[in-house]
């Protein structure tokens, strides 16, 4: 008995020690708090801004504006400032007044008598609407001169709901409202520009995945620029338009790269199996007004429904990332950290995970004067991860230093990663601690895109700095315009052997810097054999490869039902996890609920390619067709889904 007790005690001690050595997670550094909200107040947040006196102004999709006094206290005070407006998806403060973008106008709200409520609702400028439900207006954002920028969502097609249309001027555009109340079209090519932002005096915006947008993305906006979606080009020929690319030029260029039917009409990508992919950079090489994303956000990982950008100007109050940028995702209810740099005059950079687990879709963010971040959330009609339809939460740093990639910078021969704390040199000099791959997204009129031309990139060697805080990763085969996924699973911190909280960075390499490359003699090239990730040293080449008839030879039956570990990479790669989870509703139904329908594997495969929105009337966002999913993978996914019902 004593021997058994001794063994049990030793085992318990070992488990306790192992638990103590576990690397910390997101929640160990950044805590999500939910402020008390008075009963009856529904905060489907569309806009957030911190006012000079420290109060928080909130606009809602229900057309209300609330002011929260003492917002970080245990008893914040909520007062309704304005009501009766139309779906306010942005809020700004200027010279004692609040400005909001309603669906059809920029409105100034003024409290003239000082009673805490708006007395004046003044139209600064009204823009046209067709009445389509998807014509959201986002903003306003203040320019350095005090004028405003607003972005306009496209409408959807009547027959193919995901195909964006610009039915009236301003839809699919970013436009400028001057201090005199004058309307100026500024740039076009946007689809669902939910995150118009001003960063250090420069205009940026984020777009959502969909037709012509392979995934979520962050763009710098230049006057006369075109960001890729053709709907707004309908108005490029108007007298006051700064955009010089025409619809005719865009579609002529597109037609050069795709098949046509016997009447000269373009064949949809889903109806042909051997068309060459077209990428946005190919259009830029011909028309210099085309703007590439500064950062592509990996679809299904960071880039489902990209929302607002916010600059960390807290001077350390929010952690070690002052001067960097955070971006929210409404569909996945999370926040990413963005590291930007300028190379050859153009922005580019990396997306790194930051904090997940919010109760609803992250749409707006604002820093409080104490350095914490308020997060405004909404779900209705769009769907999101989380168990709530709306809300206001606060993200607070606890003062502890996380082990993270602080910056990722492009080099002539690879990348340099700087860390928030020194790395363990032995792990950092082991090439098996690294894995790098690159890929791109299609630019085509299908909803979203898988990763195209995915290839591993050979790590030739590394060089660790003398202070152990930086690592040069030298690569063989960098590809301009491609997203480079940099995985550092094997790198450990020097003092506590922690692994990185977020070991993956997705760097969009628009330009490869000039400069001197490292010599082989300067590099460490040893491998321990302890690969940090599966198949770290194998070469991977993955392309969409159906036969000449647009079909593959896969069947829906599988001799063995795939496990979660086997099917998860397929769900991630094909962006399925952007809208579905195993056992809870996100944008679409859970896989468990699909399994309860008792469809055959063949039926589930057919529904992947030809969804039936009427099958799920309780979900406001219909599923688009997913022709890019290879049949072999669809068969495995279908088999796994049905296994959930057994």
How many Cβ atoms are within 10 Å of 519's Cβ, its own excluded? 10
Q: What local confidence, expressed as pLDDT, does residue 255 receive?
A: 62
pLDDT computed for residue 620 by the predictor: 59
Q: Enter the DSSP assignment of 290.
A: B
Which residues, other chains included, contact 229 with Cβ-Cβ below 8 Å and sequence gap of 6+?
154, 164, 172, 189, 190, 191, 207, 211, 212, 213
The pLDDT, as a whole number, for residue 257 is 54
> What is the predicted pLDDT for the residue at 613?
73
SS3 169: coil
The C-alpha angle with vertex 233 and arms to 275 and 207, in degrees rounded to 5, equals 75
pLDDT tens for 425-477 read 999 999 999 999 999 999 988 888 888 899 999 999 999 999 999 999 999 99
Task: State the average pLDDT over residues 601-613.
Answer: 84
The response to whether 576 counts as a known ligand-binding position is yes
Identify the residue whose tokens are 């009447």. 263
Name the most confidently modeled range: 299-303, 377-381, 574-578, 591-595: 591-595
Could you give the 3-state DSSP secondary structure of residue 494?
coil
Per the annotation, does 580 bind a ligand? yes
In this predicted model, what pLDDT tens digit does every residue of 319-376 receive, in sequence order?
999 999 999 999 888 999 999 999 999 999 999 999 999 999 999 999 999 999 999 9
How far is Cα 635 from Cα 602, in angstroms, rounded to an integer? 8
Look at residue 228 in the predicted model and tell me its pLDDT: 95
Confidence of residue 534 (pLDDT cuts 50, 70, 90): very low
pTM of the complete model: 0.83
Q: Taking all residues of the chain, what is their mean pLDDT, rounded to a whole number?
A: 87
Environment class of residue 583 by beta-carbon count within 10 Å: exposed (0-12), middle (13-18) or buried (19+)?
Answer: exposed
- Dihedral sign (CA 545, 546, 552, 556): positive
Query: Of 267-281, 358-372, 482-496, 525-539, which range is least confident?
Result: 267-281
As given in the structure block, the two tokens for residue 53 are 């006196």
Which residue from 194, 196, 58, 219 is spatially nearest to 134, judged by alpha carbons? 194
Look at the alpha carbons of 542, 544, 549, 552 in this order and tell me if their dihedral is positive or negative.
Answer: positive
pLDDT in tens, 63-111: 999 999 999 999 999 999 999 999 999 999 999 999 999 999 999 999 9
CB burial of 356-391 (b: ≥16 within 10 Å; e: otherwise) equals: bebbbbbbbbbbbeebbbbbbbbbeebbbbbebbbb
pLDDT in tens, 161-213: 778 999 999 999 999 999 999 999 999 999 999 999 999 999 999 999 899 99
Mean pLDDT of 523-528: 91
CA gap 44, 59 in Å, rounded: 8
- Identify the structural domains of the chain with CATH numbers, from first to last: 42-390 (2.120.10.30), 405-510+517-522 (2.60.40.1220), 564-644 (1.10.760.10)
């Amino acid at each position: 008995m004593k021997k058994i007790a001794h063994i049990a005690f030793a085992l318990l001690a070992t488990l306790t020690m192992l638990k103590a050595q576990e690397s910390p997670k997101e929640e160990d550094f950044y805590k999500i708090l939910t402020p008390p909200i008075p009963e009856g107040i529904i905060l489907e947040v569309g806009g957030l801004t911190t006012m000079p006196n420290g109060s928080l102004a909130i606009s809602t999709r229900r057309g209300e504006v609330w002011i929260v006094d003492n917002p970080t206290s245990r008893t914040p005070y909520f007062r309704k400032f304005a009501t009766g407006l139309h779906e306010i998806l942005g809020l700004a403060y200027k010279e004692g007044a609040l400005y909001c973008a309603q669906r059809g106008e920029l409105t100034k709200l003024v409290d003239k008598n000082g009673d805490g409520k708006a007395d004046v609702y003044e139209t600064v400028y009204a823009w046209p609407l067709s009445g389509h439900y998807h014509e959201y207006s986002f903003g306003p954002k203040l320019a350095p001169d005090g004028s405003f920028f607003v972005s306009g969502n496209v409408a959807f097609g009547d027959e193919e709901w995901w195909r964006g249309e610009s039915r009236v001027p301003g839809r699919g555009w970013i436009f400028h409202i001057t201090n005199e109340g004058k309307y100026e079209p500024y740039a076009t090519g946007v689809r669902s520009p939910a995150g118009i932002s001003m960063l250090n005096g420069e205009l940026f915006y984020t777009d959502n995945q969909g037709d012509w947008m392979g995934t979520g993305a962050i763009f710098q906006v230049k006057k006369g620029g075109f960001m890729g979606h053709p709907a707004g080009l309908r108005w490029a020929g108007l007298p006051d338009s700064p955009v010089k690319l025409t619809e005719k030029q865009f579609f002529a260029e597109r037609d050069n790269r795709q098949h046509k039917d016997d009447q000269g009409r373009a064949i949809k990508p889903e109806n042909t199996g051997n068309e060459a992919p077209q990428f946005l950079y190919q259009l830029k090489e011909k028309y210099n007004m085309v703007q590439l994303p500064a950062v592509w956000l990996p679809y299904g990982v960071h880039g489902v429904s990209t929302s607002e950008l916010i600059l960390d100007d807290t001077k350390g109050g929010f952690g070690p990332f002052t001067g960097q940028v955070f971006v929210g995702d409404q569909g996945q209810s999370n926040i990413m950290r963005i590291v930007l740099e300028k190379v050859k005059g153009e922005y580019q950079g990396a997306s790194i995970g930051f904090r997940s687990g919010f109760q609803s879709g992250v749409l707006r963010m604002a820093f409080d004067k104490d350095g914490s971040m308020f997060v405004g959330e909404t779900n209705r009609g769009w769907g999101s991860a989380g168990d709530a339809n709306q809300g206001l939460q606060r993200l607070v740093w606890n003062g502890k230093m996380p082990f993270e990639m602080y910056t990722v910078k492009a080099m002539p021969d690879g990348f340099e990663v700087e860390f928030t704390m020194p790395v363990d040199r032995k792990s950092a000099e082991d090439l098996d601690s690294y894995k790098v791959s690159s890929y791109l997204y299609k630019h085509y009129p299908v909803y979203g895109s898988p990763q195209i031309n995915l290839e591993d990139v050979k790590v030739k060697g590394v060089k660790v700095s003398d202070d152990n805080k930086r690592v040069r990763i030298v690569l063989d085969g960098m590809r301009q315009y491609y997203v480079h996924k940099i995985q550092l699973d094997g790198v450990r911190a020097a003092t506590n052997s922690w692994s990185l909280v977020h070991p993956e960075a997705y760097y969009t390499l628009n330009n490869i810097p000039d400069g001197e490359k490292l010599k082989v003699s300067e590099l460490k090239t040893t491998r321990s054999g302890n690969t940090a990730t599966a198949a770290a040293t194998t070469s991977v080449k993955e392309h969409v490869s159906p036969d000449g008839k647009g079909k593959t030879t896969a069947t829906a039956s599988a001799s063995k039902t795939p496990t979660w570990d086997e099917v998860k990479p397929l769900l991630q790669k094909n962006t399925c996890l952007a809208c579905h989870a195993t056992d809870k509703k996100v944008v679409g139904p859970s896989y468990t609920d699909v399994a309860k329908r008792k469809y055959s594997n063949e039926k589930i495969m057919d529904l992947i390619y030809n969804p039936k929105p009427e099958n799920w009337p309780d979900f406001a966002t219909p599923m688009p067709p997913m022709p890019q999913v290879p049949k072999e993978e669809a068969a495995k996914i279908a088999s796994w889904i049905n296994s959930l019902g057994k």
